[in-house]
């Protein structure tokens, strides 16, 4: 009750400042999977839950470059060699000759992606039922106004005007995370545009595809990223 009251106070206060009646919280579930849904349901059983899924192959790319840009303390000696070689010559990493991944990294991220999707969706459907809304990040990129209109209707927004379409386009043109990464480590961050769909196709080697398909191929089909395992 105390946590609910505190959360209500913060969100209602911020909503009042902006003159809004619908307010939410963005909480990534990529590390605790279904537990994130269970935790939310304990505090907000009457909430509506929105879950945005991204192609796991692009998640793999994004996670890899985030670690490279931040020069994470968890980088292995092999990771550091890949970074140095990437700085010297990018060509082998873009023509399928050489992978930016270690096998261990692919397996860890791919397994985590599958577990996250499986647990999060299963728990969301079980605990929230009709108040659960799942969508794909790629559909937001391809049809931002249409997808947001579906989401707004789910949330109970009554008026969806064309002015919102212009605002969405302006928002989509902004990429503050990419700007931050460029400032942090430009020679690595500039190698690949951030936030785009399909970056994996430019960088995956045959080995990368085989490992990811082994671990997450069925989930790609389930979320309609692929029709079958022949990719």
Q: Is residue 231 part of a domain?
A: no
Which structural domain, as residue segments, surrounds residue 100? 2-222
Q: Is residue 229 part of a domain?
A: no
Indicate the DSSP class of residue 133.
Answer: E
What is the full per-residue pLDDT of the chain (231 aa) written as tens digits?
A: 799 999 999 999 999 999 998 998 888 777 888 999 999 999 999 999 999 999 999 999 999 988 888 877 888 999 999 999 988 898 999 899 999 999 999 999 999 999 999 999 999 999 999 999 999 999 999 999 999 999 999 999 988 888 888 899 888 887 776 666 666 666 776 777 777 899 999 999 999 999 999 999 999 999 999 999 999
Q: Is residue 36 part of a domain?
A: yes
Select from 86, 85, 69, 87 the least CA-distant residue to 183: 69
Please tell me the total count of domains within the chain: 1
What is d(CA 2, CA 18) in angstroms, rounded to the nearest whole number? 25
Q: Taking the chain, what is the end-to-end CA distance rounded to the nearest angstrom?
A: 50
Q: Is residue 230 part of a domain?
A: no
Q: Is residue 228 part of a domain?
A: no
Q: Which two tokens stand for residue 145?
A: 């106004």
What is d(CA 121, CA 91) in angstroms, rounded to the nearest whole number? 39
What is residue 38's predicted lDDT score, i.e. its pLDDT? 95
What is residue 172's predicted lDDT score, i.e. its pLDDT? 83
What is residue 184's predicted lDDT score, i.e. its pLDDT? 64
Q: Is residue 41 part of a domain?
A: yes
What is d(CA 129, CA 40) in angstroms, rounded to the nearest whole number? 14
Q: Is residue 125 part of a domain?
A: yes
Phi and psi for 133 in degrees, rounded to 5?
-135, 115
What is residue 181's predicted lDDT score, i.e. its pLDDT? 67
Q: Is residue 15 part of a domain?
A: yes
CATH number, domain of 29, equals 3.40.50.300
């Amino acid at each position: 009750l105390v946590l609910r009251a505190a959360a209500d106070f913060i969100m209602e206060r911020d909503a009042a400042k902006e003159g809004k009646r619908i307010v939410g919280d963005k909480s990534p579930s990529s590390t605790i999977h279904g537990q994130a849904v269970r935790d939310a349901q304990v505090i907000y059983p009457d909430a509506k839950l929105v879950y945005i899924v991204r192609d796991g192959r692009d998640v793999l790319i994004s996670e890899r470059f985030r670690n490279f840009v931040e020069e994470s303390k968890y980088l292995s000696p092999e990771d550091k060699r890949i970074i140095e070689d990437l700085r010297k010559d990018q060509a082998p990493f873009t023509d399928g000759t050489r992978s930016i991944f270690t096998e261990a990294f692919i397996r860890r991220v791919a397994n985590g992606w599958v577990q996250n999707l499986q647990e999060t969706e299963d728990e969301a459907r079980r605990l929230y039922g009709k108040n659960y809304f799942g969508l794909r990040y790629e559909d937001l990129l391809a049809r931002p106004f249409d997808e947001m209109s579906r989401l707004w209707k789910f949330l109970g927004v009554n008026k969806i005007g064309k002015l919102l379409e212009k605002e969405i386009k302006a928002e989509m043109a902004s990429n503050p995370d990419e700007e931050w990464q460029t400032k942090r480590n430009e020679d690595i961050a500039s190698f690949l545009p951030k936030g785009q769909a399909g970056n994996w196709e430019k960088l995956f080697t045959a080995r990368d595809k085989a490992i990811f398909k082994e671990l997450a191929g069925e989930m790609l089909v389930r979320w309609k990223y692929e029709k079958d395992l022949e990719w």
